[in-house]
Every structure is written in structure tokens, then in C-alpha cells.
């Protein structure tokens, strides 16, 4: 493997904390942590072992085309791309532009996310483009956009958390998913102010012990009712910030009236959370709020409450509580959503969403269309309209009115999408499936064409972390074999399509174009460039969006930062400058308990794996630590079903059955199973999850469905076997 000569400063390829690290080339690429405000000098095991994926034994190094015998066989780039272009053109000639769809990912660099949206709209002319961030951040995005007019996961530096007297953390388990983040909770734990809401006693919930705070364990799917009750208590006790509400919020009267029926006893009945715990949580938050003279308070949400068919309403309820306490737009307080995927923030800003153009612009806004079309060098009326969210897109594949071909970039939907068996069926029904990946993921092995791409240490680019800080990803080594960047692949395909405009392949130039396209948008990057980001990061400074051109210095009250480290300090970016409180209503989980399905199933992540596991299952030390799927269940539930620890069990929902090893633990509620979703095959948790979606965000119901569990006595195939 050709090597660079000096150590390279970059960031982790995995989660949105984007821990700073240094890569040192040698016989093997060595990885070490680097001091940075987000991670101190910490990293988790995934980060330490991240170089292993680069040299995975089955790393894709040549384009593959499915031959007549049904096998994927190596071919030249010329043959692969000619085949893709010709097949797509034939399908579009026969069925129209929307016969082709594109599916992106929240792990793609900003440059790739931008170019993917442009490729779909300009080269392919299809409206069918969306991405796996729909499964991740869409409910948080919908709630924040509606309330604040801007969606930046943390609209403040993560280091602000250390100054707070109270933090309410809903549906997030950073102690497992991003361990270095926990350092930011140390101070509030020392003040006894950490409140964790999670049906499980997760590793993060366990941090509340010994006087560090309080763990509330609601029945799955009832987080929204809990938040309505919390606001009820704040109002009933007179703990709201009336001056702030008058000056900075609209619509709060209706919200206040809507929660009048959510008295604590009713909340206890619905959620199973004792009234004393609810009142104590409210008191803790209110005492920490600036209006009460506290040092500050934060309310943070994660996928546990967002990945639900009422996820956007739940986020809205959390924001309503934050507004009631006067937190957003105040230094040292606020509301935020903890982004999951590595570029889960930037990936949702630059146009790979079905309804979006770069700069977080709406594709239905005529002014935005004109602006972006001008940058792209095409007529505005040539751009397609709004597409459909990911779950809807996947369900249309291969149907009469749906796309006949799909290009997948940076996503393993066969494992990560809900109702995964149905997704596999849809993929199999396509005339052409093209997958760009670094390894033969479970989605790639279904493809007609597999294109090997560069990743992480092999490429230049930018990622935007969970606090909206734009970070440089730097190249340390050359990619193996014939792997190429998606930027090159899209340029080559665009040329074959005779697409208008220019198709840069240098990430710095693509960023410059992205910056111009984003100029004046909500997510404005026009004051940034690779060179400026390098300079900023080398100086230990941050660079946050919005960072408008012609200066962009020092917004948000942080002199050390470029751009805007804290948003909303003066006003919310909405007409009139005020935030909007929105009344929301609770309803029971769509797939609720019933005879034959007497327990809830929740899904999530474990310490040693990342998302679909396509990368971390290829790292021997991570696989050794967590080699196979498991189902966590309470001892009382295990006793009822005569299940012993380590037994093979079958979990069944309305979608199907999955198999896993039982892990018996009192950290579970007796009515709730937990299954991580990192595995494919018969152990895939997403064979069980529902594809019912949130009406506002399109987020699927990953986090709650009704299930049954039974010990398996008959032999079953290996858990990784594909059905």
C-alpha cells in the first residue's frame, strides 16, 4: 500500500462525535487520538481499530459485474460504467426519468453528499433521491426546523454541557455509542443533575447512580406522554420562564392548554414512571434554568425517542419543555439532538434529501431552484421536483409506478432499513441495482454492479460533526487496487449521460462549489474552504456553520470560533425572530401489545459495532467482543418462557421471526426486549421492525413494536445465514 511520509491529522470514520485522531503511515497505518474539544484525547475501541477495515480481506478493489452465470465477476471500470450508463438510459427512455433512483448515506463526506444530490437532479433528472439519514435524524430535523427555523443537532459547542446544573437526556446511550462524549456529562453528574430517560438501564442510565442523577424508565413508545407530563408540572408549579416566553416564543398558549390533561398520575398510568420521579425531574430542570438563577440546563434527544412514528411530535414536545424553561438561544443552556452517523449533520444539509437543495434549501422554492441551477449551469425548470422519503422510496422499487433501477452509495439498507426482508424483495425485483461500497455488504452482494470506492484515510473531504463544526478529513494513504472516489464515478457517468454543468473530482473544488450553492441558505458554508478549515483546525479553533462569506468570523459569541458556534442568541431564524411552540398529541404505539405479541421490542446499538455492522463486523477484535446478535430480557420474563442465559431464542413480530442468543439482565423492563441491529441474516433485528412512518419526518417506527419470544429447541441455520 503506497504511503504518505508524515503523520496526518484527521477524524474518526465512524460516529458524529468525529473524534480527532492522527494517522501515522508505516508498514501498517497506525491510529492514535488527538486532543480536540469534542473528545479530549479520547477515542473508543471502534476508533482505535478503524484502520483494520481498510485492509479487510474481502475489501473491494475492482468493479464487479454480474455475469450470465449469476456470479459477480471483475471487469474494467470502462465496462462497468458503460453498462450502468447504457442500462439506465434504456430504462429512462422506456419508463421516464423517475425509473432510476439514488440512495445516499449519512457517512458520505459533505462533498459527496452534495455531488450525489446534483448527480441525481442534473445527470439523471430523477426526483427519486433520498438517504439513510431518514432513519437517523429526520424527526429531530423536522422538530427543530418547525420550532427554530434551523436544524443543527447541537446549536452550541458540546463543551457547553459541562457548565450546566441539569441535563435531561432522552433516548440516547452515548456511554456505548460514543464513549468519549461522557466526559461532557461528568460535571453535571457531580452536581446530581443528570436525568436519563430510557426503558433500559443502559450504560448511560447507569451513570445516574450514586447521587449523580435520576433514571426514568418509561414503557416503550410513551416518551411523548412523559414530556407532556413534564411540561404540565412545569406549568402547574409556575416554573416556566414567562419573560422569555413573551419575548421569544409564539404559540405557547395553545401548547399550555394542550398539556393540562397530562397530570402526573395519568403519566404514571401511561408510562409507568412514578409521579415522584416526574416531579423531581421537573424540579431539577427548573432549578437549573437561568430564570431560577441556575447555571443552565439542557434537554437532549436521541434516536430512542426519535425513531418512532410519533418521533417528530416527541421532539417537538421536548423543545416545548426547553422553550418553557427559556433554554434555547441562551449561553449555557439549550435544546439539542445528538446526531448519530459520522456526517449525519452535513449529510442532511447539501441536497441528498428528497425535498432538498444545497444549503438546506427547499427544492420547491422557486428562488432556491434558480440560485442552485445557476451554480450548476442548467435551467431551473430542468430540475425535478420533490421526491419521497426513504421508506416510501424503498417500498416503490420494482413496482409499476416505481423506480426500476437503484444506485446505492454508503448505505447497507438490507440490514439498516425497517422490515428488512421486504426491502430485500424490492431490491431483487429491480432491473438494475448498482452499489458503491468498500466491502461486499449484504446490499452489495445483491447488486448487478458493484463499484469499489475510497474511504476515510484514502480521501480528502469534510465532515460536519454533531455540533455543526465542519471538520477536515485528510488522505493518509492510497486506496487499494482500482478503488475510486464516488466523485470520479459520478463525473464519469455524467459524461456518459451528456449532462450539463461541470463535474469536479477534486474534493476541494467540489467544496468550493458547495459553498457557493449554499450561500444565503440556512446551512450557509460560503465563508469556508478546505484551506480555511485547515487553518482553523490547525489553530485549534472551531469552524461552525452558518459561516457566511466575506468574513463569517466570530458569530455566536465565541471569539475563538469561525462561523456561528452558538445559534439563536439574538433571534430565531424565522419570520419575526421568535421560536414556535407547537401543540402535539400522544397516541399509543401503532404496533401495540396484543394477545400473541405480549412484549415490546426495542432496538439499538452496542459498544463494539457501528450501524449495519458492515465495517465493524470485519474488525476481528470488535467481532470477538460482540460476535453475534443477542436479545436482552428481564429474569422474570425469562422464567415465564423457561429461557436460560445463552439459549437460542426466536423473536417474532408481525413482520417475521429473527433468532438470537438470550442475555438475561435486570437492566431490562420485564415487558421489553432489546435487540441490537448490527447483524444481517436470521439474526437481523430489522427483519422484525415496522416500516410505519412518522407523518411529518418519514422516520420509521424502529423503536417499538409488539413481539413474542420463545426458546428454540429445533435446529436453525447459522444466525448470519441470509433468508
Q: Which residues pair with 659 in a beta bridge?
A: 650
CB within 8 Å of 90: residues ≥ 6 apart: none
Residue 526 in 3-state DSSP?
coil
DSSP 478: P
Burial class (CB in 10 A: 0-12, 13-18, 19+), 641: middle
Give the nearest distance from C-beta 31 to ligand SF4 in angstroms: 9
Closest CA to 174 of 15, 21, 342: 15
Residue nearest to ligand SF4 (CB): 47
Give the nearest distance from C-beta 465 to ligand SF4 in angstroms: 9
CA 468 to chain centre: 14
Give the nearest distance from C-beta 471 to ligand SF4 in angstroms: 11
Give the nearest distance from C-beta 180 to ligand SF4 in angstroms: 5
CB within 8 Å of 145: residues ≥ 6 apart: 151
What's the rounded Cα separation, in Å, for the pair 502 and 202? 49
| CB of 43 or CB of 477, closer to ligand SF4 | 43
What's the rounded Cα separation, in Å, for the pair 331 and 333? 6
| CB of 331 or CB of 607, closer to ligand SF4 | 607
Strands (E), 117-158: 129-131
Give the nearest distance from C-beta 179 to ligand SF4 in angstroms: 6
**Bridging pattern class, strands 30-33 and 648-652:** unpaired
Site residues for ligand SF4, 157-186, by CB under 6 A, read 178-180
| CB of 179 or CB of 326, closer to ligand SF4 | 179
CA 306 to chain centre: 10
Site residues for ligand SF4, 623-682, by CB under 6 A, read none
Stretch binding ligand SF4 (CB under 6 A), from 9-17, 446-454, 601-609, 679-687: 9-17
What's the rounded Cα separation, in Å, for the pair 372 and 503? 15
The reply to whether 14 sits near ligand SF4 by the rule CB under 6 A is yes
Give the nearest distance from C-beta 517 to ligand SF4 in angstroms: 28
The reply to whether 545 sits near ligand SF4 by the rule CB under 6 A is no
The reply to whether 614 sits near ligand SF4 by the rule CB under 6 A is no
Phi (first) and psi of residue 310, to 5 degrees: -120, 30
Phi (first) and psi of residue 146, to 5 degrees: -65, -40
* Beta sheet of 297-301, edge-to-edge order: 213-216, 194-197, 166-170, 297-301, 334-337
Position among 10, 12, 110, 561 found at the interface with ligand SF4 (CB under 6 A): 12
Position among 18, 314, 341, 343 found at the interface with ligand SF4 (CB under 6 A): 18
Give the nearest distance from C-beta 697 to ligand SF4 in angstroms: 24
Site residues for ligand SF4, 34-93, by CB under 6 A, read 39, 43-44, 46-47
| CB of 173 or CB of 672, closer to ligand SF4 | 173
Retrieve residue 631's grid coordinates.
Answer: 436479545
What's the rounded Cα separation, in Å, for the pair 318 and 297? 13
Number of residues that bind ligand SF4 (CB under 6 A): 14
Residue 563 in 3-state DSSP?
strand
- Do the beta carbons of residue 167 and residue 188 sit within 8 Å? yes
Give the nearest distance from C-beta 178 to ligand SF4 in angstroms: 4
CB atoms within 10 A of CB 715: 6
Stretch binding ligand SF4 (CB under 6 A), from 14-22, 91-99, 403-411, 656-664: 14-22
| CB of 47 or CB of 264, closer to ligand SF4 | 47
The reply to whether 19 sits near ligand SF4 by the rule CB under 6 A is yes
| CB of 33 or CB of 402, closer to ligand SF4 | 33
Give the nearest distance from C-beta 14 to ligand SF4 in angstroms: 3
| CB of 43 or CB of 188, closer to ligand SF4 | 43
| CB of 12 or CB of 267, closer to ligand SF4 | 12
Q: Which residues bind ligand SF4 (CB under 6 A)?
A: 12, 14-15, 17-19, 39, 43-44, 46-47, 178-180
Amino acid at each position: 500500500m503506497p504511503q504518505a511520509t508524515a503523520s496526518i491529522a484527521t477524524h474518526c470514520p465512524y460516529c458524529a462525535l468525529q473524534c480527532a485522531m492522527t494517522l501515522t503511515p508505516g508498514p501498517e497505518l497506525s491510529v492514535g487520538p488527538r486532543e480536540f474539544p469534542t473528545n479530549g484525547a479520547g477515542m473508543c475501541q471502534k476508533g482505535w481499530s478503524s484502520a483494520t477495515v481498510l485492509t479487510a480481506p474481502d475489501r473491494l478493489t475492482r468493479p464487479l459485474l454480474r455475469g450470465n452465470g449469476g456470479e459477480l465477476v471483475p471487469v474494467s471500470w470502462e465496462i462497468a460504467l458503460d453498462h450502468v450508463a447504457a442500462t439506465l438510459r434504456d430504462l429512462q427512455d422506456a419508463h421516464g426519468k423517475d425509473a432510476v433512483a439514488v440512495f445516499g448515506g449519512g457517512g458520505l463526506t459533505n462533498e459527496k453528499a452534495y455531488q450525489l444530490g446534483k448527480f441525481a437532479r442534473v445527470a439523471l433528472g430523477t426526483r427519486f433521491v433520498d438517504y439513510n439519514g431518514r432513519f437517523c435524524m429526520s424527526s429531530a430535523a423536522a422538530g427543530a426546523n418547525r420550532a427554530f427555523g434551523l436544524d443543527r443537532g447541537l446549536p452550541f459547542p458540546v463543551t457547553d454541557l459541562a457548565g450546566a446544573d441539569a441535563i435531561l437526556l432522552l433516548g440516547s446511550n452515548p456511554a456505548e455509542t460514543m464513549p468519549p462524549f461522557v466526559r461532557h456529562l461528568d460535571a453535571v453528574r457531580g452536581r446530581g443533575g443528570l436525568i436519563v430517560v430510557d426503558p433500559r438501564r443502559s450504560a448511560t442510565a447507569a451513570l445516574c447512580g450514586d447521587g449523580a442523577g435520576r433514571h426514568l424508565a418509561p414503557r416503550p413508545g410513551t416518551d411523548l406522554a412523559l414530556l407532556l407530563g413534564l411540561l404540565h408540572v412545569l406549568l402547574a408549579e409556575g416554573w416556566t420562564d414567562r419573560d422569555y416566553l413573551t419575548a421569544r416564543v409564539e404559540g405557547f398558549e395553545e401548547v399550555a392548554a394542550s398539556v393540562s390533561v397530562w397530570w402526573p398520575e395519568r403519566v404514571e398510568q401511561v408510562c409507568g414512571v412514578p409521579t415522584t420521579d416526574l416531579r423531581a425531574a421537573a424540579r431539577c430542570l427548573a432549578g437549573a434554568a437561568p430564570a431560577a438563577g441556575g447555571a443552565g440546563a439542557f434537554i437532549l434527544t436521541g434516536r430512542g425517542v426519535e425513531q418512532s412514528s410519533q418521533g417528530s411530535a416527541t421532539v417537538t414536545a421536548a423543545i416545548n419543555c426547553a422553550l418553557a424553561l427559556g433554554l434555547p438561544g441562551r449561553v449555557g443552556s439549550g435544546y439539542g439532538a445528538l446526531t448519530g452517523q459520522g456526517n449525519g449533520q452535513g449529510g442532511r444539509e447539501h441536497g441528498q434529501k428528497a425535498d432538498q437543495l444545497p444549503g438546506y434549501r427547499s427544492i420547491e422554492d422557486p428562488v432556491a431552484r434558480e440560485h442552485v441551477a445557476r451554480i450548476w449551469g442548467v435551467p431551473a425548470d430542468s430540475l425535478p421536483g420533490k421526491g419521497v422519503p426513504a421508506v416510501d422510496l424503498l417500498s416503490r422499487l420494482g413496482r409499476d409506478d416505481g423506480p426500476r433501477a437503484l444506485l446505492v452509495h454508503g448505505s447497507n439498507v438490507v440490514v439498516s432499513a425497517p422490515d428488512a426482508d421486504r426491502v430485500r424483495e424490492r431490491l431483487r425485483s429491480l432491473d438494475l441495482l448498482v452499489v458503491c461500497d468498500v466491502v461486499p455488504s449484504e446490499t452489495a452482494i445483491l447488486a448487478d454492479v458493484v463499484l469499489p470506492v475510497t474511504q476515510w484515510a484514502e480521501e480528502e473531504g469534510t465532515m460536519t460533526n454533531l455540533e455543526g463544526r465542519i471538520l477536515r478529513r485528510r488522505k493518509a494513504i492510497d486506496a487499494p487496487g482500482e478503488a475510486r472516489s464516488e466523485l470520479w464515478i459520478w463525473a464519469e457517468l455524467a459524461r456518459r449521460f451528456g449532462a450539463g454543468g461541470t463535474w469536479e473530482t477534486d474534493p476541494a473544488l467540489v467544496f468550493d462549489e458547495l459553498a457557493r450553492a449554499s450561500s444565503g441558505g440556512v446551512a450557509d458554508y460560503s465563508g469556508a474552504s478546505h484551506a480555511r478549515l485547515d487553518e482553523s483546525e490547525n489553530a485549534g479553533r472551531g469552524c461552525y456553520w452558518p459561516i457566511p462569506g466575506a468574513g463569517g468570523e466570530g458569530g455566536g459569541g465565541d471569539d475563538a470560533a469561525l462561523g456561528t458556534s452558538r445559534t439563536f442568541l439574538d433571534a430565531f431564524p424565522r419570520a419575526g425572530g421568535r421560536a414556535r411552540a407547537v401543540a402535539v398529541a400522544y397516541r399509543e404505539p401503532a404496533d401495540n401489545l396484543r394477545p400473541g405479541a405480549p412484549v415490546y421490542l426495542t432496538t439499538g446499538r452496542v459498544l463494539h459495532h457501528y450501524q449495519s455492522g458492515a465495517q465493524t463486523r470485519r474488525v476481528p477484535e470488535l467481532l470477538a467482543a460482540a460476535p453475534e446478535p443477542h436479545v436482552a430480557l428481564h429474569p422474570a420474563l425469562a422464567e415465564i418462557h423457561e429461557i436460560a442465559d445463552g439459549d437460542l431464542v426466536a423473536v417474532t413480530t408481525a413482520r417475521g421471526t429473527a433468532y438470537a442468543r438470550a442475555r438475561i439482565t435486570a437492566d431490562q423492563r420485564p415487558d421489553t426486549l432489546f435487540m441490537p441491529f448490527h447483524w444481517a441474516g436470521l439474526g437481523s433485528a430489522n427483519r422484525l421492525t415496522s416500516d410505519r412512518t412518522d407523518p411529518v419526518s418519514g422516520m420509521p417506527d424502529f423503536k417499538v413494536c409488539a413481539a413474542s419470544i420463545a426458546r428454540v429447541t429445533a435446529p436453525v441455520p447459522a444466525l448470519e445465514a441470509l433468508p
